[in-house]
Amino acid sequence: MRRVATTNERFHLKQFNDLGLAEVLLRAVSAEGYTTPTPIQVEVIPAMLAGRDIVGIAQTGTGKTAAFVLPLLHNINQQRVVPGSKCCTTLILAPTRELAAQIAESIRTYGRFMRPSVAVIIGGAKPGPQIRAVAGGVDIIVATPGRLLDHMASGVIRLDRTTTVILDEGDQMLDLGFMPAIRRIMAKLPAKRQTMLLSATMPKQIRDLAHDFLNNPAEIAVAQVARPIERINQKVMHVDSTAKRGVLVDLLGGPQVERAIVFTRTKRGADKVSLHLQKAGLSTDAIHGNKSQSQRERTLAAFRSGRVTILVATDIAARGIDVDDVSHVVNYELPNVPEAYVHRIGRTARAGKNGVAISLCDHTERGMLRDIERLIGCSLNASGDLVPHVSMPQRSAATAGEPTGAKTGQKRNSHARNHRGKSAAAEPTRRSEAKPGNAAANAGLTRMLGTAGDKQKRRRSFAKSASGSSHGRAVFQ
DNA sequence: AAAAAAC
């Protein structure tokens, strides 16, 4: 058990200048217009400067990237890479190429006055420039696992003098799909090193696995684990699967929608939905893993610049991607891994802003919705009022992400499979289902898009639910 | 069964 100080005890009046960071970094922070660190930054930065291993959990959009980038730059400022060593001082691993590129961008921003050498090592890009970038040794490598292993196998990159490794979206990096690659990479790192794991979600099974790689980590959680950020107005529409496309067009045509991400469960689905939205005259493009890397980059750039206002994506864009002013996230299909819901909707309401998340749920998805509600500890509905689960008022790190029905030791993916469609029949239809072309439903759609009033109301109800439990207190385990 | 990640 470890109790972390409450927000008020610990974070009161803390400024960036109080955190022990080098002056070259404080200047860059100030140039970006920041003066006050977020709670995760207040906790993580000193711990990382002290050389601790860290498991850091904080809600989406609360500055996790800067929380590790600033102290790692500080440490590199003290200890630059040995020239010609084919090594890197710090290694950062991310689950998608786009996220790796975005982290590198953040490093360039905060490192602008100290000019660290940075190499982005990802698939889909030419290996030649990557090889040249690391040939003389590099301060920081930001990588996706596959290409890094390639370069390691061919002797282009060595990790035997790397002193710090960071797994961003750490729970996904240690999940089934990535674990073998991560183990192989970790095996090549020195035993004496600093290791850090960050995410907005951290299921217990994953956290247990993490201890293979961590040495007496500082466990830092500045919010109840897996709780979406409060500024997201979360709504669910129960719709027939055949009605989804029409409902989506009506939703996205609304004037409140400035910039939206629509998530689908499959790559083909993303293409189909995007095509349908295009035919309806909307400004949209799809991004998923079957597109070429250049297409992926172009599409994300167009969305970032505002040239495209609706991004249709698979879970390739669920984690970490930071685009300003995404007003709406629509789950066209619910994710079957409940943690993905928290990450998807976290693409909106970043850096203190508000956002709306609308999930379209058909009868085959009721079980997935129930898993999501269990994870976040609230029931979702069409009004956007979160109804807390009184039976489990405190979702701690120890239980968050562990579905109640899952057997001990059961693999996470098989759990997700078990819930697919299974509970659809068991759960009676409680809510009316919206159909396109129905006047009453369309009036409802306008409400779905969310107003400031809705958000105020919702926030009050959330605050109410939180009081009396562990409101304001940061708890881990 | 899906998505991501190496050619």
Q: What is the DSSP string of A215-273?
A: SS-EEEESS-TTPPPTTEEEEEEEB-GGGHHHHHHHHHTSTT-SSEEEE-SSHHHHHHH
Tokens of A107: 């490093």
Using the CB atom, is residue A320 less than 7 Å from strand B? no
Using the CB atom, is residue A337 less than 7 Å from strand B? yes
Segment A138-155 shows an average pLDDT of 96
Asked whether residue A211 falls in the same domain as residue A240, the answer is: no
Residues in chain A: 477
Residue A2 has pLDDT above 90, yes or no: no
Segment A398-412 shows an average pLDDT of 35
A450 CA, B5 C1': Å apart = 37
Which residues are CB-contacts of A448 (< 8 A; sequence separation ≥ 6)? A235, A237, A251, A358, A382
Is A406 contained in some domain?
no
Is A59 contained in some domain?
yes
Which of A125-139, A141-155, A300-314, A385-399 shows the lowest per-residue confidence on average (mean pLDDT)? A385-399
Which residues are CB-contacts of A126 (< 8 A; sequence separation ≥ 6)? none
- The helix/strand/coil state of A279 is helix
Residue A119 has pLDDT above 60, yes or no: yes
Which nucleotide is closest, CA of A99 to its C1'? B4
Question: Which residues does residue A239 pair with via DSSP β-bridges, in sequence order?
Answer: A434
Query: Is the Cα torsion angle A301, A303, A306, A307 positive or negative in sign?
Result: positive
Asked whether residue A242 falls in the same domain as residue A213, the answer is: no
CA distance A120 to A236: 39
Which of A177-186, A249-258, A407-416 shows the lowest per-residue confidence on average (mean pLDDT)? A407-416
- Report residue A424's pLDDT band, with 50, 70 and 90 as the boundaries: very low
A263 CA, B3 C1': Å apart = 12
Is A473 contained in some domain?
no
Which has the closest alpha carbon to A361: A347, A346, A371? A371
Asked whether residue A277 falls in the same domain as residue A160, the answer is: no
Asked whether residue A259 falls in the same domain as residue A385, the answer is: yes
| A227 close to A395: Cβ distance less than 8 angstroms | yes
Residue A471 has pLDDT above 90, yes or no: no
What pLDDT is recorded for position A450? 67
Domain span at A158: 2-221
Backbone phi and psi for residue A119, each to the nearest 5 degrees, phi listed first: -125, 135
- Report residue A35's pLDDT band, with 50, 70 and 90 as the boundaries: very high
> Kind of pairing, strands A475-476 and A2-3?
antiparallel
- Report residue A5's pLDDT band, with 50, 70 and 90 as the boundaries: low
What pLDDT is recorded for position A243? 95
Is A402 contained in some domain?
no
Tokens of A86: 């084919």
Using the CB atom, is residue A351 less than 7 Å from strand B? no
| Closest residue (Cα, C1') to B2 | A266
Using the CB atom, is residue A413 less than 7 Å from strand B? yes
Residue A414 has pLDDT above 60, yes or no: no
Q: Residue A132 burial by CB count (10 A; 0-12/13-18/19+): exposed, middle or buried?
A: exposed
Asked whether residue A173 falls in the same domain as residue A260, the answer is: no
Q: What tens digit of pLDDT does each residue of A120-129 get?
A: 999 999 999 9
Percent of chain A's residues with pLDDT above 90: 74
Angle between helices A127-135 and A145-153 (to 10 degrees): 70
| Closest residue (Cα, C1') to B6 | A146
Using the CB atom, is residue A419 less than 7 Å from strand B? no
Is A25 contained in some domain?
yes
Which nucleotide is closest, CA of A417 to its C1'? B1
Asked whether residue A141 falls in the same domain as residue A13, the answer is: yes
Which of A15-19, A219-223, A238-242 shows the lowest per-residue confidence on average (mean pLDDT)? A219-223
Using the CB atom, is residue A411 less than 7 Å from strand B? no
- Report residue A415's pLDDT band, with 50, 70 and 90 as the boundaries: very low
Residue A199 has pLDDT above 50, yes or no: yes
Token pair 């660190």 is found at A37
Cα separations (Å) of A283 from A243, A299, A369?
A: 21, 12, 29
Report the amino acid identity of residue A215. Answer: N
A396 vs A380, more confident: A380
Which nucleotide is closest, CA of A126 to its C1'? B7
A417 CA, B2 C1': Å apart = 10
Asked whether residue A438 falls in the same domain as residue A308, the answer is: yes
- Report residue A354's pLDDT band, with 50, 70 and 90 as the boundaries: very high
Using the CB atom, is residue A127 less than 7 Å from strand B? yes
| Closest residue (Cα, C1') to B1 | A417
Q: What tens digit of pLDDT does each residue of A52-86 get?
A: 999 999 999 999 999 999 999 999 999 887 787 88
Mean pLDDT, chain A, rounded, equals 84
A113 CA, B1 C1': Å apart = 48
Backbone phi and psi for residue A358, each to the nearest 5 degrees, phi listed first: -120, 125
Which nucleotide is closest, CA of A411 to its C1'? B1
Backbone phi and psi for residue A133, each to the nearest 5 degrees, phi listed first: -65, -35
Residue A3 has pLDDT above 90, yes or no: no
What pLDDT is recorded for position A412? 38
Write down the pTM of the prediction.
0.84
Backbone phi and psi for residue A121, each to the nearest 5 degrees, phi listed first: -115, 95
| A35 close to A75: Cβ distance less than 8 angstroms | no
Which of A105-119, A136-150, A460-474 shows the lowest per-residue confidence on average (mean pLDDT)? A460-474
CA distance A63 to A142: 18
Q: Which nucleotides of B are covered by protein (CB under 7 A)?
A: 1-7
Segment A335-360 shows an average pLDDT of 96
Is A109 contained in some domain?
yes
Neighbours of A135 (CB within 10 A): 13
Q: What is the CATH number of the domain that holds A294?
A: 3.40.50.300
Using the CB atom, is residue A348 less than 7 Å from strand B? no
Segment A230-249 shows an average pLDDT of 96
Which nucleotide is closest, CA of A124 to its C1'? B6
Using the CB atom, is residue A288 less than 7 Å from strand B? yes
Using the CB atom, is residue A421 less than 7 Å from strand B? no
Which has the closest alpha carbon to A327: A434, A240, A450, A426? A450
Asked whether residue A175 falls in the same domain as residue A251, the answer is: no
Tokens of A81: 């890479």
Is A472 contained in some domain?
no
What pLDDT is recorded for position A312? 97
Look at chain A and report how many structural domains it folds into. 2
What pLDDT is recorded for position A454? 44
Tokens of A320: 């970490």
Cα separations (Å) of A317 from A67, A299, A341, A375?
A: 21, 12, 12, 21
CA distance A14 to A8: 10
Q: State the greatest distance between any 2 C-alpha atoms of chain A, in Å, as a whole number.
A: 69
What pLDDT is recorded for position A210? 93
Q: What tens digit of pLDDT does each residue of A84-103 get?
A: 788 899 999 999 999 999 99
Is A401 contained in some domain?
no
Token pair 């200890």 is found at A79
Asked whether residue A196 falls in the same domain as residue A81, the answer is: yes
Query: Is the Cα torsion angle A69, A75, A78, A81 positive or negative in sign?
Result: negative
Q: What tens digit of pLDDT does each residue of A254-292 get?
A: 999 999 999 999 999 999 999 999 999 999 999 999 999
| A267 close to A289: Cβ distance less than 8 angstroms | yes
